[in-house]
Amino acid sequence: MATAREVKLRIRSVKNIAQITRALQAVSASKVQRAIAQVEATRPYATKAWEVLTHLATQPGREHMHPLMTRRAEVKNILVALITSDRGLAGPYNTNVLRFTLKRFADSPVPVHYVTIGKKGREVLHRRGKHIIADFSGIPDRPKFGDVSHIGRLLVEEFLEGRADEIYLIYTDFINMLRQNPTAKKLLPLEVDSGEQRVQQFATSKRVIPAYIYEPSDQEILDVIVPRFTELQVYHAVLESQASEHAARMVAMKNATDNATELADALQLEYNKARQASITREMLDIAGGAEAMAQAMAEKARKAAAKAAEG
Amino acid sequence: MSIKCEIVSQDRKVWEGEADMVVVPGKSGEMGILENHAPLLSTLRPGYIKVVHGKDEEIFTVTGGVVEVLPDKVTILADASERVDEIDIKRAEEARKRAEELLKQTPPSTAEHLAAQAALMRAKLRLEAVQRFRRGKRHPQVQSGTSEESGE
């Protein structure tokens, strides 16, 4: 059994760990809130842009859509933009989204290329020998639109140049503090009539839109909106992922704090036992010593008495 | 008689409210939009949005985007938009200097050069907006401080 002193040292170190994890937990909790607020802020633009987009795309007499909305007959290359975190200690967050990605594209008949956003994803894909064409790690906390818009621009360019025929965005959807789901979304070609619930949502709430006057032309308006909308989707996914990352980290840190507290309690018991044992031992020593002393004294007294009796 | 007006950029809602008239820098010219305007979609070029409501006037800078006009509502999807009162003169001035430096350093018609040109345009737009429109701040000091740029 460890000595009381050793146990005491361990208790102190465990308590220090608990203190650190508790601080990290608090930091993550506030970051989740901020990220959610940012996601909310993108909603007005996204809603409106989507509305205009669906309207333009469903206009009668539109044979040729925007190039970014045209489905390719043959898919020869797939590009996947994967969002993970730069830092660890986030519980199962990175593992989940990575496992999801690898499984999703495990038996793809065509080559899959990757764009990684986040160091953790880059490391794993690199180890697995996947083909990474670009990496955008080091996105700041609380990113502004300008911090991520170049990612969207790169994806649009890859698509337009024909180096990718389908582009997917994989991120972690924030549902609540305890649930975050890895999600794959087809980013390009942009499908307006895909079965997304957003379409239904607009279809039910929609007034009859009269024919618009286009200035200078509907094509030019699409040219402005479609790439912006793509960039916005990437921005949105980054924010969702950050909210998920912080939520996952918060839960992981809470578990760590709980474990540390439990461990400290158990160690405290052990310490009490060890201390008690050493006290008992000392008591025995003292008692034994006293007994021996008393015996020695008694012996001495007896001898002295015997001597006196003789004399 | 008024029309609803909403200005949103990708990361925030810039402004929302009622207006008598909204003036936007359309691709093919300035447009003053009143109530019951015909439905219209137009792209925007860099410039100023003016929202008139009674005697009040709000000015916003805009670097580009799209405007959707419906008989009772104007929605502006801006690439970037700022209310004149929000503009940080010092930051805009710094941005202008940075962009000018970059313009000198980068060879023409490269991506960096074009980006610097765009940045310079945005900075100038903001500085000019402050100079021209900021209410109650038309002191000689501000006038002289920014008048050098107006000569471009």
Q: Which domains does chain B have, with CATH numbers?
A: 3-84 (2.60.15.10), 87-140 (1.20.5)
Tell me, what's the pLDDT at B141? 44
Using CB atoms, which residue from A211, A225, A232 is nearest to B39? A211
**CB contact (8 A) between residue B11 and residue A215:** no
Q: What is the ipTM of this complex?
A: 0.72
Using CB atoms, which residue from B8, B38, B64 is nearest to A45? B8
Which of A112-126, A185-199, A223-237 has the weakest average pLDDT?
A185-199
Average pLDDT rounded to a whole number, residues A100-120: 92
Q: Is the pLDDT of residue A63 over 80?
A: no
CB pairs under 8 A between A and B: 73
Name chain B contacts of A144, Cβ cutoff 8 Å: 11
Which of A65-79, A273-287, B70-84 has the weakest average pLDDT?
A65-79
In this prediction the pTM is 0.78
pLDDT tens digits, B40-63:
889 998 888 999 988 888 889 898
d(CA B83, CA A176): 35
Q: Is the pLDDT of residue B149 over 50?
A: no
Give B138's pLDDT tier (boundaries 50, 70, 90): very low
With a pLDDT cut of 70, the percent of chain B lying above it is 88
Name chain A contacts of B38, Cβ cutoff 8 Å: 213
Tell me, what's the pLDDT at A50? 81
What are the domain boundaries of chain A? 4-13+259-310, 18-253
Q: What is the 3-state secondary structure (H, E, C) of chain A?
A: CCCHHHHHHHHHHHHHHHHHHHHHHHHHHHHHHHHHHHHHHHHHHHHHHHHHHHHHHCCCCCCCCCHHHCCCCCCCCEEEEEECCCCCCCCCHHHHHHHHHHHHCCCCCCCEEEEEECHHHHHHHHHCCCEEEEECCCCCCCCCHHHHHHHHHHHHHHHHCCCCCEEEEEEEEECCCCCEEEEEEEEECCCCCCCCHHHHHHHHHCCCCCCCEEECCHHHHHHHHHHHHHHHHHHHHHHHHHHHHHHHHHHHHHHHHHHHHHHHHHHHHHHHHHHHHHHHHHHHHHHHHHHHHHHHHHHHHHHHHHHHHHC
Tell me, what's the pLDDT at A207? 52
Tell me, what's the pLDDT at A59? 65
Q: Is the pLDDT of residue A180 over 70?
A: yes
Give A213's pLDDT tier (boundaries 50, 70, 90): confident
With a pLDDT cut of 70, the percent of chain A lying above it is 91
Q: Are A48 and A170 in contact (CB under 8 A)?
A: no
Mutate to test the interface with B, among A36, A38, A45 (most CBs of B within 10 A): A45
Q: Is the pLDDT of residue B97 over 70?
A: yes
Name chain B contacts of A145, Cβ cutoff 8 Å: 9-11
Q: What is the mean pLDDT of chain B?
A: 81
Tell me, what's the pLDDT at A40? 84
Q: Classify domain A18-253 by CATH architecture.
A: 3-Layer(aba) Sandwich (3.40)
